[in-house]
Amino acid sequence: MSLLQTIDTNPSFAPKEALPLPERLISGNPAFKTWAQDASKDDKVLTGVWEATPGVTHSIKGTTFEFCHILSGVIEIEEKDGETKTYRAGDSFVMKPGFVGIWRTIETVRKIYVVVND
């Protein structure tokens, strides 16, 4: 087994589809697709590609650390009691454990993610 993992940004396999939890939905009708591509043995580290259609949701990281690299689309993230930042194709960011804010998908977004669970 190789210890080098390539993330396919245009996977050919079917994604897992989901909707936001009702308590997380603020507005719109966003839908999510996840193409999970790798996970550590204990699922502490997860990687893959995620896509969301326009809408607004609460983003709550809890004890999770997440790195994101935007492949396409536009989002705004408003940190609770903080500023609003806009990210688009080519941008990368990290949401650290304890992050609470609002995620606005302005244009359908596709990102590479790396999630580290505590």
85 within 8 A of 110, measured Cβ to Cβ = no
Asked whether residue 7 is assigned to any structural domain, the reply reads no
Asked whether residue 82 is assigned to any structural domain, the reply reads yes
What is residue 18's DSSP assignment?
Answer: E
CATH number of the domain bearing residue 73 = 2.60.120.10
Asked whether residue 43 is assigned to any structural domain, the reply reads yes
Asked whether residue 6 is assigned to any structural domain, the reply reads no
pLDDT per residue over 6-65, tens digit each? 999 999 999 999 999 999 999 999 999 999 999 888 889 999 999 999 999 999 999 999
Asked whether residue 5 is assigned to any structural domain, the reply reads no
Q: What does the pLDDT read at residue 2? A: 79
- Domain count of the fold of the chain: 1
Asked whether residue 10 is assigned to any structural domain, the reply reads no
Query: By residue range, what is the domain housing residue 27?
Result: 17-116
Q: Which helix (H) or strand (E) holds 68?
A: strand 65-79
Asked whether residue 2 is assigned to any structural domain, the reply reads no
19 within 8 A of 31, measured Cβ to Cβ = yes
Name the pTM for this structure.
0.93
Asked whether residue 100 is assigned to any structural domain, the reply reads yes
Residues 6+ apart with CB under 8 A from 28: 54, 55, 56, 105
Rounded to an integer, what distance in angstroms lies between the CA atom of residue 5 and that of residue 84? 33
Segment 73-97 mean pLDDT: 97
Closest CA to 30 of 115, 103, 113, 94: 103
